[in-house]
Amino acid sequence: MPPSDGTVRIPDEKREHKERSLLAASTARSLVCGMSRERLVTLPNAVSMSRLLLAAMFVALREPPVRFALLVVASGTDFLDGWLARRTHATTRAGALIDPIADRVFVFAAACAYVFEGAISTASYFTLLSRDIATAIGFLVARSVPWLRAVEFRARWLGKVVTALQLITLTAVLVTPTAVPALVFLVGAASATSIADYTLTLWRERAT
């Protein structure tokens, strides 16, 4: 029977379940990529995320001198965020994800702008983005196959080489268009090597 004072008492089991649910929800909100919100808001991460704004500006502003300046700034921030992270001891798992994502967004936006404007061919477009497309497919496969063990993401030096070649190629479109075919070939070769390197590395880590 209900208490004489008119209040409704929640059974202990239901109350404990509700408390656990609230605690789980609170923990999920405080964690992003395994890191707390406070760890996400760092100067190196802010520098990395600035490339998202640079990507939008690259698409919106079509003047070659402006785009050249944006490419120079984007390349500079790609170096600066890593240097700041090491200098200030602010290296985080979140930063290790934000940095390459920002790189890929900028390269994707610039390549899309070029291909829509006819500055590069469709074949060159897909070659430039081949590493990034393969990475996206690999991520989706890893997320959809339940028996694949999750491994921590680590940047590889071959991936950095591909990003550098991508930025050089995007700059060459503005400065020396005749060099673009050779640079696109280099990006394709480096991308194929990087894809193989990432695949073998992930396979070894999952096997251990």
Over the chain, what is the mean pLDDT? 81
Number of domains in the chain: 1
What value does the mean pLDDT take over residues 168-189? 97
pLDDT, residue 153, reads 58
What's 178's domain CATH number? 1.20.120.1760
Evaluate whether 167 touches 108 at the Cβ level (below 8 Å): no
In a domain, 2, yes or no: no
pLDDT digits (tens, 9 = 90+) for 92-114: 778 878 998 999 999 999 999 99
Q: What percent of the chain is modeled with pLDDT above 70?
A: 73
Mean pLDDT highest for which of 13-27, 89-103, 158-172? 158-172
Query: How large is the C-alpha radius of gyration of the chain?
Result: 23
**62 within 8 A of 52, measured Cβ to Cβ:** no
Query: Which DSSP string corresponds to 161-181?
Result: HHHHHHHHHHHHHHH-GGGHH
Distances (CA, A) of 167 to 16, 157, 177: 55, 16, 14
Q: Is residue 6 part of a domain?
A: no
72 domain-assigned = yes
Compare 1 and 171 and report the one with higher pLDDT: 171
Q: How confident is the model at residue 141 (pLDDT cuts 50, 70, 90)?
A: confident
Q: Does some domain include residue 26?
A: no
pLDDT of residue 157: 81
Domain boundaries, position 128: 34-147+155-207
Domain membership of residue 133 (yes or no) is: yes
DSSP 94-140: HHHHHHHHHHHHHHHHHHHHHHHHTSS-HHHHHHHTHHHHHHHHHHH
Burial environment of residue 68 by CB neighbours within 10 A (0 to 12, 13 to 18, 19 or more): middle
